[in-house]
Amino acid sequence: MYAVVKTGGKQYRVSTGQKLKVEQIPAEVGAEITLDQVLMAGEGEDVKIGTPLVGGAVVRCTVVSHGRHDKIRIFKMRRRKHYQKHQGHRQNYTELRIDVISV
């Protein structure tokens, strides 16, 4: 069984038992959360596509950890103008374990 869920402005294809890093969700480690924005759910040939959401479909997850991704280095430069800008960014994430997909 798999599903396509929307969280944090992005879409992810998830299946039971999978670990997934998503945009930071304000929840404690070990807490169970539900993702109710399910866009598609299916198993083999049987696929349900929502318009835009599948009615009554829910994905239950457990928060495994919180953390920060690797640093992304940003460098901007204008040639011949003596302009250089260095910048870095580390995005926060929440790691989820997919427990149950129910349609």
Secondary structure class of 27 (helix, strand, coil): coil
> Rounded to 10 degrees, what is the CA torsion of 6, 10, 11, 12?
-100
Mean pLDDT, rounded, for 60-78: 98
Residue-level pLDDT at 103: 87
Share of the chain above pLDDT 70, in %: 100
Given a cut of 90, whether residue 80 has pLDDT beyond it is: yes
Residue-level pLDDT at 97: 97
Name the band, by pLDDT with cuts 50, 70 and 90, for residue 44: confident
Domain ranges of the chain: 2-102
| Pairwise CA distance, residues 99 & 5, whole Å | 14
Given a cut of 90, whether residue 13 has pLDDT beyond it is: yes
- Sheet containing strand 38-43, edge to edge, reads 10-15, 2-7, 38-43, 46-49
Mean pLDDT of the chain: 96
